Amino acid sequence: MKKIFFTPGPSQLYPSVPLHIKNALKENIASISHRSKKFEEIFFHASSGIKKLLNIPESYHIFFVSSGTEAMERVIQNCVENNSYHFVNGSFSNRFFETAKELGKKPQKVEVSFGEGFDFKKINIPPETELICLTHNETSSGVMTPVAEITKLSKTNPNKLIAVDIVSSVPFVDLDYSLLDVVFFSVQKGFGLPAGLGVLIVSPRAIKKSQQLVNKGVSIGSYHSFLSLLQFAEKNQTPETPPVLEMYLLGKIIADMITIGIEKIRNQTEQKAKLIYNFFDSHSLFSPFVNDIQTRSQTVITVNVDTKQQEIRKYLEQKGYIVGTGYGKYKETQIRIANFPTHSLSDIKGLITKLKTKGK
């Protein structure tokens, strides 16, 4: 039976992925040298596509790493000598904070409970902060930080670098990149690709900071330091042998999305999220976990289902719909439904219809 994965990553493959894989095999993409002209074209197709789709300034750099988690480590190593400041409201934002600790920095944080957003009016960023770290969409709880708050934060802290994790909200999230320094994602969520590739979007200011760290004798890592990545990216290459097939596929999916139009993709995401939230808001047993409508994620919808979780997931699976479990201590009592560009309006309607019939 055909299955649709509504899991928040890995998720359902984007519909055109099988065709692109077939073409990649025909073109021997997995065998070509990563120092060849052909590879440089693949690199450029992917990096210029990312800039075009997301409206990133031309002066910014696109680097390829292996995952979102790796990106966190590279960001801390390359932008922080001592002091990062973290907005923590779930497991992924906490990983970002812990990464800084494990690298021997002195991170500080503001922390709110799982399922909550931040009260930005109350937050004072310590003056010694070098880098502010935010997770735009906390995938573990389904809380999305309003972009307007990120913009304000950047404008009120012009001398601090800002890093934003958009792993589970790309390409939906519409950011003003000129106000940000490092933004990163991996490809197995919003782009509907197999896991194994991470992308860093890096400002000239962030590059300057890593150079300053080097000048001070601070380690910024080795082959995936910003400076090493930059040296190779300038030739449309990577320091190591990268996942060439993944980079090829990312370039192709992005071209497909550019053809559809990012505005349309974003509008459809909101339309689908509304259907899901409306359904659970009026459900007799289940309810959306995030109460504050302003911070409800548009891309990962978290639902309290209490003792019915296993039953619901099993029932949906029999109908071909795979939804995610809750995260951490909510693993057994919540479900998470991904709403990525790969999930069509009719997929979402199908899922809701199955849940309706189940209730009867």
Query: How many chain residues interact with ligand PLP (CB under 6 A)?
Result: 13
Using CB under 6 A, pick the residue from 11, 12, 84, 186 that binds ligand PLP. Answer: 186
Q: How far is the CB of 308 from ligand PLP (least distance, A)?
A: 25
Residue whose C-alpha is closest to residue 335's, from 306, 359, 315? 306
Residue sitting closest to ligand PLP (CB): 68
Q: Taking the CB of residue 157, how many other CB atoms lie within 10 A of it?
A: 15
Assess contact for 151 and 180: CB atoms under 8 A: no
To 10 degrees, the CA torsion angle through 332, 71, 174, 205? Answer: 150
Using CB under 6 A, pick the residue from 46, 100, 167, 170 that binds ligand PLP. Answer: 167
CB closer to ligand PLP, 143 vs 244: 143
CB closer to ligand PLP, 70 vs 81: 70
Residue 351 sits at the vertex; the CA angle it makes with 294 and 284, to the nearest 5 degrees, is 65
CB closer to ligand PLP, 107 vs 198: 198
Q: How far is the CB of 96 from ligand PLP (least distance, A)?
A: 8
The one segment of 132-140, 264-272, 322-330, 337-345 that binds ligand PLP by CB under 6 A = 132-140
Q: How far is the CB of 79 from ligand PLP (least distance, A)?
A: 17
Q: Which two tokens stand for residue 309?
A: 């979780």
Q: How far is the CB of 68 from ligand PLP (least distance, A)?
A: 3
Based on the shown chain and the rule CB under 6 A, indicate whether residue 135 belongs to the binding site for ligand PLP.
yes
Q: How far is the CB of 141 from ligand PLP (least distance, A)?
A: 10
Interface mask toward ligand PLP for 189-228; x: CB under 6 A:
---------x------------------------------
Assess contact for 249 and 20: CB atoms under 8 A: yes
Buried b (16+ CB within 10 A) or exposed e, 349-358: eebbebbeee
Q: How far is the CB of 166 from ligand PLP (least distance, A)?
A: 8
Using CB under 6 A, pick the residue from 16, 38, 44, 67 that binds ligand PLP. Answer: 67
Round to whole Å and give the CA distance between 161 and 153: 11
The one segment of 51-59, 67-75, 172-180, 248-256 that binds ligand PLP by CB under 6 A = 67-75
Q: How far is the CB of 80 from ligand PLP (least distance, A)?
A: 18
The one segment of 62-70, 145-153, 199-207, 350-358 that binds ligand PLP by CB under 6 A = 62-70
Residues 82-121 binding ligand PLP (CB under 6 A) are: 92
CB closer to ligand PLP, 67 vs 83: 67
Based on the shown chain and the rule CB under 6 A, indicate whether residue 9 belongs to the binding site for ligand PLP.
yes
Assess contact for 311 and 349: CB atoms under 8 A: no
Assess contact for 342 and 13: CB atoms under 8 A: yes
Q: What are the φ and ψ backbone dihedral angles of 110, each rounded to 5 degrees?
A: -110, 135
Residue whose C-alpha is closest to residue 266's, from 174, 187, 351? 174
Based on the shown chain and the rule CB under 6 A, indicate whether residue 304 belongs to the binding site for ligand PLP.
no
DSSP string, 63-93: EEES-HHHHHHHHHHHH-SS-EEEEESSHHH
Q: Taking the CB of residue 155, how many other CB atoms lie within 10 A of it?
A: 10
Round to whole Å and give the CA distance between 324 and 286: 15
Per the rule left: phi > 0, alpha: psi between -120 and 50, beta: everything else, 328 is: left
Q: How far is the CB of 16 from ligand PLP (least distance, A)?
A: 21
Using CB under 6 A, pick the residue from 49, 68, 117, 288 that binds ligand PLP. Answer: 68
Q: Which residues contribute to the site for ligand PLP (CB under 6 A)?
A: 9, 67-69, 92, 135, 137, 139, 165, 167-168, 186, 198
